[in-house]
Structure 1
Amino acid sequence: MKYQTRKKALILLADGTIFYGKAIGKEGSAFGEVCFNTGMTGYQEVFTDPSYFGQLMVTTNAHIGNYGVNNEEVESDSIKIAGLICKNFSYNYSREAADASLEEFFEKNNLFGISDVDTRALVSYIRDNGAMNAVISTDVDNIEGLKKQLAEVPNMEGLELASKVSTKEPYYFGNENAKYKIAALDIGIKKNILRNFAKRDAYIKVFPYNATFEELSAWNPDGYFLSNGPGDPQPLVEAQQLAKTVIEKNLPLFGICLGHQVIALANGVSTYKMHNGHRGINHPVKNLKTGKGEITSQNHGFAVNREEAETHPDLEITHLHLNDNTVAGIAMKNKNCFSVQYHPEASPGPHDSTYLFDEFIECLK
């Protein structure tokens, strides 16, 4: 029945290109930067990952929703993507552990999506022309009006989004009698990072994006962590200042994704917006210290300037992305500080890189 009543919908890209499909559930419009994720599984974790805030997510896997949703498989308290674009949306699901359908999850989170799209053509177009702003809408007869609204959506470059997803008040995670204490700056933190720390006998206090070193250090932690998150790292001056202070005092510091970029900026190494970013769960990375390869989960649209990192006297590049040789990890030569551009906590994705959490715990000792 749903298939007969579904409304026609479109995707309008910032350069005027249009793709058509059908609305999933409700009618309306959603704006954001269009990007794609190549993962075959893990759609629920992707949709709830704060790093995707403000993005229209194109999923390259042909079927989305076929295994429903599970209340435990979330990376934050709500859906963070701006909208979904997919090929086949499954209203029915088959999985013992599912709590509800993806459609019900979208309704609860008031999310608008569009399916029956030629996602192969769309992804191919983004790959060639780069990630750009777009609108998905059921207002198919109002293209000029949509173009005007779309022109007012800010560009991801220079956009500070951490404040939109960060906790408002500090909170604790894990066992308060754990051996180690970690102060984490929430610039878009995923739950599985906290689970990975807690599993390694650490108690975590999570602080808002603009918390100062004084606030974090007052808790007397054994180490400091800068989380993943959305948007451009350059406007995050408070986080950069925090990283500078921790580095100056030579306290243990670990960063993931946006946190990695903040650590680079704190060292005077610039970041840049990538043509279309890395988003998926099978990205190959080489650990330059061990010579081993890792299959990794990635989600970022910005990267660290490789040339500047290579010539920086205090930094060494520890990991490289094998598809395009971009910087995937750095460490400071004489300080207790390292970071990676990818997601060792995965969720979704492989667990090749969880050793990085063990390395950080070793730093705390």
Structure 2
Amino acid sequence: MKYQSKRKALVLLADGTIFYGKSVGSKEGTAFGEVCFNTGMTGYQEIFTDPSYFGQLMVTTNAHIGNYGTNGDEVESESIKIAGLICKNFSYEYSRSLADKSLEAFLNENNLFAISDVDTRALVSYIRDNGAMNAVISTEVENIEDLKKRLAEVPSMEGLELASKVSTKMPYFYGDESASFKIAALDIGIKKNILRNLAKRDAYIKVFPYDTSFEEMQSWNPNAYFISNGPGDPEPLSDAIAAAKEMIASGKPVFGICLGHQIIALANGVSTYKMYNGHRGINHPILNLLTGKGEITSQNHGFAVNREETESNPDLEITHVHLNDKTVAGIRMKEKDVFSVQYHPEASPGPHDADYLFDQFFDLIMKDRVEAV
């Protein structure tokens, strides 16, 4: 019955290339965004709700999506953040004791348009060869010329500020108020699991909006600062970069993840650039240059830190590199308790390969507390 109700649909790329498929369910719809792909075999619900994916059309490379349903606890934010979903086989039925609803119901509740029956192998191969670009998914298969015109008006991800679209509007608290440590977190697209990892290490976190001044964060008298992950181009985030400079100057420990990593680099005068495809998946190999150990990591970013500028910066040291393309995956400041990584230690794909990064942050906080006595 579900199969019979599907409507014809398409993926139209900015360069005019078209891939055909069917709508998920009987819905008509159209969605625009930058098309990208994730190679993870599981974790689709976390991917769809991750603020770092805001404004993107997600292609899932796993052949089956939806087969284990959804669970209300397995979200990284309060709503779906991707612009649309493109998959091969969409499972309307699910088999999992912990699931509370189907993926179809979850998508409908969040008003997300999705299409299936797309040759995702061919689509991903095309994106790999031709780079990430804007696209549209739609059931308006007879109105291709109109879709092309509307697609041409969608802004490029390069130069696009999106943190304001996903950041909290008002400060809020997370964790136990009687915890041993206070951490001020700048929310430029923060994931819930990051907050969980900080809180379980005896921290009370105050989460601030993306454009909060350092003075406002400092007035809470935190023990350390955290700069979160998030979507879009880091360079337009002038307020966050300015705040990061003052965090660094304060002498307190600072930790950044993903977009936060890029903000720390920019605060040190190192530029960022848009990648040809980006890194999105839960199997990305990283080498820790300080220990010589490898890590299997979760990544989801389309921008990266300039390696040449990092290597020539006297205040910075590269601590981690991506083994596939040698891009910068981690940095630290030589004379400050400041460090960051381009990947997501809270996502635990290893599953525990990168847990030490949170422990390292708290080691710095405790060291700073001892030195301040």
TM over 0.5: yes
Kindly provide the amino acid, as one letter, of the partner of residue 66 in structure 1.
N
Q: Give the Cα separation in 1 of the matches to 2:240 and 2:349.
A: 26
Instruction: Report Cα offsets for 1:246-272 as digits up to 9, x if no partner.
Output: 111221100000000000000000000
Give the Cα separation in 1 of the matches to 2:173 and 2:294. Answer: 34
Alignment match, 1:254: 255
**Aligned residue in 2 for 1:305:** 306
CA contact (8 A) 1:39 1:281 kept: yes
* 2:85 partner amino acid: L
Structure 2: how far apart are the matches of 1:204 and 1:5? 47
Structural mapping, 1:313-328, within 5 Å? 313-328=314-329
Alignment of 1:294 with 2:288, yes or no, is no
Structure 2 counterparts to residues 209-358 of structure 1, below 5 A: 209-346=210-347, 350-358=351-359
Q: Are residues 1:189 and 2:187 paired?
A: no
Does 2:69 correspond to 1:68? yes
1:100-140 CA-to-partner distances (Å, cap 9, x unmatched) read: 00000000000000100000000000000000000000000
Unaligned 5+ segments in structure 2 are 367-373
Deviation (angstroms), 1:6: 0.5
Q: Report what 2:173 is aligned to.
A: 172
Report if aligned partners of 1:210, 1:238 keep a CA contact under 8 Å in 2.
yes
How far apart in 2 are the matches of 1:148 and 1:154? 13
**Are 1:42 and 1:347, in contact at CA under 8 Å, matched by a contact in 2?**
no
Q: Alpha carbons of 1:57 and 1:348: their partners in 2 closer, same or farther (altered >3 Å)?
A: farther
Aligned residue identity for 2:118: V
Q: Distance in 1 between matches of 2:327 and 2:120?
A: 26
- Amino acid across the alignment from 1:71: G
Aligned length: 365
Contact 1:45/1:347, CA 8 A, preserved across alignment: no
Determine the structure 1 residue equivalent to 2:95: 94
Aligned residue in 2 for 1:152: 153
Q: Match of 2:242, SS?
A: helix
Structure 1 residue 204 displacement after superposition:
0.4
The DSSP-based 3-state class of the residue aligned with 1:34 is: strand
Judge conservation of contact 1:85–1:113 (CA < 8 Å) in 2. yes
- Could you list the structure 1 runs, at least 4 aligned residues long, displaced by more than 6 angstroms after superposition: none
Paired with 1:96 and 1:348, the residues of 2 have a C-alpha distance of 22
1:33 maps to 34
What is aligned with 1:127? 128
Equivalent residues of 1:46, 1:348 under 8 A apart:
no
Deviations 1:212-257 (A, max 9, x none): 0011011100000000000000000000000101111221100000
Amino-acid identity (%): 79
Separation in 1 of the partners of 2:308 and 2:352?
29
Q: Compute the displacement of 1:347 (Å).
A: 6.0
Q: Does residue 22 of structure 1 match 2:22?
A: yes
CA contact (8 A) 1:181 1:222 kept: yes
Residue of structure 2 equivalent to 1:8: 8
1-structure distance, mates of 2:351, 2:128: 24
Q: Does 1:79 align with 2:80?
A: yes
Cα separation, 2, equivalents of 1:42 and 1:317: 30
| 1:189 alignment partner, SS class | coil
Normalized against structure 2, the TM-score is what? 0.97
- How far is 1:320 from its partner? 0.2
CA deviations on 1:80-101 (whole Å, 9 max, x unpaired) are 0000000000000000000000
Determine the C-alpha separation between the residues in 1 that align with 2:252 and 2:130: 42
1:106, 1:29 → 2: CA distance? 14
Q: Deviations over 1:281-332 (max 9, x none)?
A: 0000000000000000000000000000001000000000000000000000
Give distance in 1, aligned partners of 2:152 and 2:348: 34
Q: Following TM superposition, by how much is the alpha carbon of 1:5 offset from its aligned partner in structure 2, in angstroms?
A: 1.5
Q: Is the 8 A contact 1:281 1:350 kept in 2?
A: no
Amino acid in structure 2 at the alignment position of 1:9: A
AA aligned opposite 1:218: S
The amino acid that maps onto 2:16 is: G
Runs of 5+ unmatched residues, structure 1 = none
Matched residue, 2:370: none
Amino acid at match of 1:88: N
Q: Deviation per CA, 1:23-52, whole angstroms, max 9, x where unpaired? A: 013211000000000000000000000000
Q: Secondary structure at the match of 1:100?
A: coil
**Counterpart-to-counterpart distance in 2, 1:134 and 1:330:** 33
Alignment check: 8 A CA contact 2:297 2:348 kept: no
How far does the alpha carbon of each residue in 1:148-184 deviate from its partner, in whole angstroms, 9 at most, with x for none? 0000000000000000000000000000100000000
- Contact 1:60-1:119 at 8 Å conserved across structures: yes
